[in-house]
C-alpha cells in the first residue's frame, strides 16, 4: 500500500539532516527541520522549507525528547518522520509514538528495532538465519565440564569474560588448554570480587579482526544488498575512516558475506536501510556477526559512490510504501570509495574537542569528490553535540587512485577558525600500511601512540 | 572580603555532579583548595573536570547544573 507523503519532518541535526533534506527535495517533498535553541543558525535550518524549535541545547531536552519531537512533528502537519542516525533513530518507543500519532516512521518497524537492538535476540535471529556468530558458550558457563566442552568447539585462543563485566574489564585470553585451566578459576574469583558475580562466559578470540559491514535495503518483503564497507580504522570504538569495498576480501567470501546479510534481513522481513556488522578474520577467512544497525549509517556515502544509488532517497520511497526499485542484479559495484570523518577535534592534543567559529572554508571539488557537511563560512559550531563537521568522500577507479585523490582533496580542504582531524587523515592517506590495506581494528590506536607529534595542524 | 570567579575553561554544558545520581562536587559555603574539582563541562560528548584555580569558600554558583556555558563564563564566585 502506498501512502502519499507531502511533508517530511527531520528529527535530527548536523550533516545527516542536510543529507536528508537534499534527498527529500529531490522527491519534491516539503521539509520541516526540528532544531534546538543552539541550532537556530544551522545549515539544515537554512536549507529546510520550515524550521521548528523543539527545545533547549541539551539533547536530552530536544533531540532525545520523544514527546517534544512527536508533538512538533504532528503540529507541523508532516506525514513522515526521518530519524537520521544517533539520537532517536534506534529507539523503538519513538518509532511507536510516531506511528501512534498517525505518521510514517522512515525506518524499520518498532518490533524490528527492538529485536536487533537487544544483543540476545539479535544473536538468536542471526543464528536462526544461519549467519555465522563468534563460537562460544552463548551464555554463562556453570561448571568446569561445560567449559571444557565449549573450548573443544572453539579451539584456542579463547576469551574468558565476566558475565557482569563490561568495557573490556574482566577479560582474559587463554592460548592453550593448560593456560585455560589455570585462568578459569582466577577469572571466576576475580569476577566475584570485582562484580559480586563469578559468572563467566567463553568466546573464541579473534586476535586480528577487521570490521566489515554489509548495506541492505528491504521493503518488508524483499531485501537487496549493496556490498560491503570496511571500517577497521577506529579510535575508541569510533570509526574514523571507511572504505567500500573491503580491499582484502576474496570474491567468494564477499559473496557469502553479502548473502548472509540478505538472509538475516529477509528472515525478519526487514523494512528500510540497515547494516549488518561483522568481524572478519583475515587468516582463516571466517566472518562473524556482531550486530545489525537499523538505520542509515554515517558512512553510507562510500556505498553510494561505488553503486550509484541514493540510499537516503530510497529509504524515503520505501517508507512511502513503494516496493524496492532495483533487483540484486541491478546493483553492481565499480571502483573504490573512501570516507574521512572531519571532526572538530585537535589530534595533536589527544583529540580534545574544538568547537568554534568557521572563519574561512574551502570545500574541495573536482571529479569523484563529495563533501557532506554542516558547515558554512561564519557558522559557529555549538559545543553540545558530537564533533563531526563533515565527511570527505572520494571515488576513483581503484583503491590506489582513490588514496591519491583523497590526499589531493584533503589538501584542498581548509577549515579556518578551529582545529580539525584533517592532519590525521593526511598522515593516514600517506601511511605505507594504510596504502597497503594492512590494518585491523587495533591498528589506529597503536599507530597514534607513536605519531601524536606529526599531527600538528599547519 | 575579596571575591574571585572560577571561569569555565571550555564552552559546553556545566554539571555540578559527577553523575546524575551522585552528590554535587561542592555546595555553597564549602571550602575549596586550588586544584579541587568543582564540576564538569561536557563538550561534544566528552567530559572535562573543572578545577578551582584558587583557595577560598564558595559564595555562590553563578551557573546552574546542566546550564549551557561559554568559555570564560563565570561558574562559581569564591570568597578569598
Pairwise CA distance, residues B14 & A28, whole Å? 42
* Pairing state between β A104-105 and A30-36: unpaired
What is the pLDDT, as a whole number, of residue A455?
76
Q: Does some domain include residue A134?
A: no
List CB contacts (< 8 A) between A58 and chain B: 13, 66, 68
Pairwise CA distance, residues A200 & A211, whole Å? 26
Q: Are residues A48 and A172 in the same domain?
A: no
Task: Supply the range of the domain harboring residue A174.
Answer: 144-204
Cα–Cα distances in Å, from A380 out to A39, A233, A377, B21? Answer: 10, 29, 9, 33
pLDDT in tens, A62-101: 999 999 999 999 999 999 999 999 999 999 999 999 999 9
Task: Supply the range of the domain harboring residue B17.
Answer: 3-79
Pairwise CA distance, residues A80 & A356, whole Å? 34
Residue A113: in which H helix or E strand, if any?
A: helix A110-117
Domain end among A90, A106, A122: A106
Q: Are residues A92 and A186 in the same domain?
A: no
Cα–Cα distances in Å, from A172 out to A75, A143, A152, A161, A202? Answer: 54, 18, 18, 7, 10
Pairwise CA distance, residues A39 & A13, whole Å? 8
A295 classed as catalytic: yes
Q: Does some domain include residue A38?
A: yes
> Which CATH number does the domain housing residue A38 bear?
3.40.50.20
Q: Are residues A382 and A248 in the same domain?
A: yes
pLDDT above 90 as % of chain A: 81
Q: Does some domain include residue A252?
A: yes
Neighbours of A83 (CB within 10 A): 27
Residue A231 confidence (pLDDT) above 70 = yes
The per-residue pLDDT of chain A, averaged, comes to 94
Chain B nearest-CA residue for A344: B44
Residue B45 confidence (pLDDT) above 80 = yes
Cα–Cα distances in Å, from A21 out to A198, A251, A376, A434? Answer: 51, 36, 16, 34
Number of structural domains found in chain A: 3
Residue A456 confidence (pLDDT) above 70 = no
Number of structural domains found in chain B: 1
Mapped onto helix, strand or coil, the DSSP state of residue A14 is helix
Q: Are residues A154 and A286 in the same domain?
A: no
> Which CATH number does the domain housing residue B49 bear?
2.40.50.100
- 10 Å CB burial of residue A237 (0-12, 13-18, 19+) is exposed
Q: What is the number of alpha carbons within 13 Å of residue A156 lying toward its C-beta?
A: 11
pLDDT in tens, A253-294: 999 999 999 999 999 999 999 999 999 999 999 999 999 999
Min distance A243 CA to chain B CA atoms (Å): 25
Q: Are residues A96 and A214 in the same domain?
A: no
CA angle A257, A258, A264 (to 5 degrees): 90
Q: Are residues A193 and A214 in the same domain?
A: no
Q: Does some domain include residue A402?
A: yes
List CB contacts (< 8 A) between B10 and chain A: 353, 383
Q: Which segments of A330-373 does DSSP mark as H helices, in order?
A: none
List CB contacts (< 8 A) between B12 and chain A: 355, 383-384
Amino acid at each position: 500500500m502506498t501512502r502519499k507523503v507531502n511533508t517530511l519532518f527531520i528529527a535530527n541535526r548536523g550533516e545527516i539532516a542536510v543529507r536528508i533534506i537534499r534527498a527529500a527535495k529531490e522527491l519534491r517533498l516539503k521539509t520541516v527541520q526540528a532544531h534546538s535553541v543552539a541550532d537556530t543558525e544551522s545549515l539544515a535550518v537554512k536549507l529546510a522549507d520550515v524550521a521548528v524549535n523543539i527545545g533547549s541545547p541539551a539533547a536530552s531536552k530536544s533531540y532525545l525528547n520523544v514527546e517534544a519531537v512527536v508533538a512538533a512533528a504532528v503540529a507541523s502537519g508532516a506525514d513522515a518522520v526521518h530519524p537520521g542516525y544517533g539520537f532517536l533513530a534506534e529507539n523503538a518507543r519513538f518509532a511507536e509514538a510516531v506511528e501512534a500519532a498517525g505518521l510514517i516512521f522512515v525506518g524499520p518497524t518498532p518490533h524490528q528495532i527492538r529485536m536487533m537492538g537487544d544483543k540476545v535476540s539479535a544473536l538468536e535471529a542471526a543464528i536462526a538465519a544461519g549467519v555465522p556468530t563468534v563460537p562460544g558458550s552463548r551464555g554463562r558457563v556453570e561448571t568446569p565440564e561445560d567449559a571444557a566442552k565449549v573450548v573443544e568447539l572453539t579451539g584456542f585462543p579463547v576469551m574468558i569474560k565476566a558475565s557482569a563485566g563490561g568495557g573490556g574489564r574482566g577479560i582474559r585470553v587463554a592460548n592453550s588448554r593448560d593456560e585455560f585451566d589455570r585462568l578459569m578459576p582466577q577469572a571466576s574469583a576475580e569476577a566475584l570480587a570485582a562484580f559480586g558475580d563469578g559468572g563467566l562466559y567463553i568466546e573464541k578470540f579473534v586476535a586480528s579482526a577487521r570490521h566489515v559491514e554489509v548495506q541492505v535495503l528491504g521493503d518488508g518483503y524483499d531485501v537487496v544488498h549493496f556490498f560491503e564497507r570496511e571500517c577497521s580504522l577506529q579510535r575508541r570504538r569510533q570509526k574514523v575512516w571507511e572504505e567500500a569495498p573491503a580491499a582484502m576480501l576474496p570474491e567468494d567470501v564477499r559473496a557469502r558475506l553479502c548473502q548472509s546479510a540478505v538472509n538475516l534481513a529477509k528472515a525478519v522481513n526487514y523494512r528500510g536501510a540497515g547494516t549488518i556488522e561483522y568481524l572478519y578474520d583475515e587468516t582463516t577467512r571466517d566472518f562473524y556477526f556482531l550486530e545489525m544497525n537499523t538505520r542509515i549509517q554515517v558512512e553510507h556515502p562510500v556505498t553510494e559512490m561505488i553503486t550509484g544509488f541514493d540510499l537516503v532517497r530510497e529509504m524515503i520511497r520505501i517508507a512511502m510504501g513503494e516496493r524496492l526499485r532495483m533487483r540484486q542484479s541491478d546493483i553492481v559495484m565499480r571502483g573504490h570509495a573512501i570516507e574521512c570523518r572531519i571532526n572538530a577535534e585537535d589530534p595533536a592534543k589527544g583529540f580534545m574537542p574544538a568547537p568554534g567559529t568557521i572563519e574561512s572554508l574551502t570545500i574541495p571539488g573536482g571529479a569523484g569528490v563529495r563533501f557532506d557537511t554542516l558547515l558554512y563560512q561564519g557558522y559557529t559550531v555549538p559545543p553540545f553535540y558530537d564533533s563531526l563537521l563533515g565527511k570527505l568522500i572520494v571515488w576513483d577507479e581503484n583503491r590506489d587512485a582513490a588514496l591519491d585523490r583523497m590526499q589531493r582533496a584533503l589538501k584542498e580542504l581548509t577549515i579556518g577558525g578551529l582545529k580539525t582531524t584533517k592532519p590525521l587523515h593526511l598522515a593516514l592517506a600517506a601511511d605505507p600500511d594504510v596504502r597497503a590495506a594492512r590494518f585491523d581494528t587495533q591498528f589506529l590506536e597503536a599507530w597514534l601512540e607513536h605519531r601524536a607529534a606529526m599531527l600538528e595542524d599547519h | 572580603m575579596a571575591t574571585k570567579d572560577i571561569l569555565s575553561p571550555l564552552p559546553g554544558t556545566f554539571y555540578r555532579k559527577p553523575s546524575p545520581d551522585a552528590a554535587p562536587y561542592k555546595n555553597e559555603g564549602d571550602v575549596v583548595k586550588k586544584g579541587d574539582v568543582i564540576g564538569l563541562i561536557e563538550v561534544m560528548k566528552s567530559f572535562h573536570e573543572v578545577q578551582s584555580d584558587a583557595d577560598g569558600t564558595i559564595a555562590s554558583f553563578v551557573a546552574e547544573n546542566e546550564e549551557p556555558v561559554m568559555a570564560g563564563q563565570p561558574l562559581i564566585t569564591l570568597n578569598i
